[in-house]
Amino acid sequence: MEEPTNIHEPIIMVPKGKVAEDSLISHLTHKEFDDEDEPVVAKKPRLPQKKYYRQRAHSNPICDHIFDNPIRPDKMDWSKFYPQSSLITKTGDPKQVEFLDVGCGYGGLLVTAGPLFPDTLMLGMEIRVKVSNYVQHRIQSLREVNPNKYDNIACIRTNAMKYLPNYFYKGQLKKMFFLYPDPHFKKSKYKWRIISDTLLSEYAYFLATGGLVYTVTDVKDLHEWMVKHFSEHPLFEVIEDIELVNDILAQKILDSTEEGKKVSANNGEKFIKVFRRIEAGVKDWSLDDAEPLPNPETDDEKNDVVDQET
């Protein structure tokens, strides 16, 4: 029986199969060779594993979380999230974020749409700590494996219901995405929904005229809620499905996210609707559609008639 040439040589005990191969490669990447002719296995960056970043799906957006937000847009240092080269156009002008994914989850849309729009800066906002950390690590790993391919996407942890004014100027955004938002089923928590009359006015402020808002959900009640609020808002109009035939993003948003893939795996139904930011006064409002104002005299007469009948 041959004795080991080096009694200090570590003995690698690994299981058989793919795990053994991965473990051996991981060991070789950290091993130092004295012989120059000995091959060295290059260390390949690995994507982060979701199982180490799992967090509950629901987070209270009303709660005062601790965020590192700029006090106003001009104080935001975007170089912390994007390489310096991606922040400047070919003519030397500074770039601004134009696509915003609100509640980006595990970053599926960012990773999918980033290469499709390489000259457009895209940002994901996520309120959950572990999930936002995962997306940031995922993007960093993708940049190492694919140089210059994912330099235009980034993720930050913040609350989009409160702090959009800290990051964006009026009319800066061209597209916003609300993909599988939390439905908040209880009526007492409807105020937590990411789509509301007040928030729509804020979104309209940051969207350029003609900008688009993409919504997808597998909850029919939430879909009807979002369509109702967008349709009734004076600064948005519904885009008919026929107009979306050539919109590549309208096709990608259905299955680009982890939630979308889960719905597809369970053969669930998906509801998609896109809305356009319009100028004030474009919608043709009719007085016939408005509810009549209360008339105290008429109401008193009606009450008297009811009292006599009873």
Q: Which residues belong to the active site?
A: 182
Rounded-to-integer distance, Cα 141 and Cα 46, Å: 7
Instruction: Give the pair of three-digit tokens for residue 1.
Output: 């029986």
**Angle 122-126-127 (CA atoms, 0-180°, nearest 5)?**
155
Residue 126 to residue 129: CA distance in whole angstroms: 8
**Which residues, 6 or more positions from 138, have their beta carbon under 8 angstroms from its beta carbon?**
47, 48, 106, 107, 111
- Work out whether the CA dihedral 201, 216, 82, 121 comes out positive or negative: negative
CB 107 within 8 A of CB 140: no
Question: What gap in Å lies between CA 206 and CA 174, rounded to an integer?
Answer: 9
Please check whether residue 127 is in contact with residue 103, taking contact to mean a CB–CB distance below 8 angstroms.
yes
Please, is 100 exposed, middle or buried when counting C-beta atoms within 10 Å of its C-beta (0-12, 13-18, 19+)? buried
Asked if 86 and 149 touch (Cβ cutoff 8 Å), the reply is no
To 5 degrees, how large is the angle CA 277–CA 77–CA 151?
Answer: 75
For residues 85, 88, 91, 97, the Cα torsion angle rounded to the nearest 10 degrees is 140
Q: Give, as one character, the DSSP assignment of residue 94.
A: B
The Cα diameter of the chain in Å comes to: 113
